[in-house]
């Protein structure tokens, strides 16, 4: 989706986890971060509903219009990630790598 300053983007920039709440020495989080978190929340709500939402349903609450292709891409990547997480044995870890820049 082209975002660079979501939660993990801030961590990659050197933000501490505690700073991402907007109350640390860095001050408020960037507007882009808030937009990303709102979109993440929509996908969490969709998953919690047990139904696949239409593009129109997403866009009723999205901070910007999402395309069908964007929604499908996020659903696919989330599904792959959840599958990898499910396959991790107890006591083991899942390492994720993020390209920044």
Q: What's residue 1's pLDDT?
A: 87
Q: Is residue 47 part of a domain?
A: yes
Backbone angles phi, psi at 58, to 5 degrees: -60, -50
pLDDT at 65: 97
Count of domains observed in the chain:
1
Q: What is the 3-state secondary structure (H, E, C) of the chain?
A: CCCCCCHHHHHHCCCCHHHHHCCCCCCCCCHHHHHHHHHHHHHHHHHHHCCCCCHHHHHHHCCCCCCHHHHHHHHHHHHHHHHHHHCCCCCCCCCCCCCCC
Per-residue pLDDT of the chain (101 residues; tens, 9 = 90+): 888 898 888 988 889 898 888 888 888 999 999 999 999 999 999 999 999 999 999 999 999 999 999 999 999 999 999 999 999 999 999 998 877 66
Contact between residue 42 and residue 61 where contact means Cβ atoms under 8 Å apart: yes
Please give the pLDDT value at position 96: 85
Give the per-residue pLDDT at 101: 60
- Structural domain range at position 40: 7-86
pLDDT score at 24? 80
Q: Is residue 93 part of a domain?
A: no
Distance of alpha carbon 42 from the chain centroid: 10
Is 50 inside any structural domain?
Answer: yes
Examine residue 97 and state whether it is found in any structural domain, yes or no: no
Q: What is the pLDDT of residue 75?
A: 97
């Amino acid at each position: 989706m082209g975002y660079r300053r979501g939660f993990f983007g801030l961590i990659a920039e050197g933000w501490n986890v505690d700073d991402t709440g907007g109350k640390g020495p860095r001050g408020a989080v960037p507007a882009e971060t808030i937009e990303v978190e709102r979109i993440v929340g929509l996908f969490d709500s969709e998953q919690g509903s047990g139904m696949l939402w239409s593009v129109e349903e997403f866009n009723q609450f999205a901070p910007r219009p999402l395309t069908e292709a964007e929604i499908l891409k996020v659903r696919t990547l989330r599904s792959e990630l959840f599958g990898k997480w499910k396959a991790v044995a107890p006591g083991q870890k899942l390492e994720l790598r993020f390209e920044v820049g």
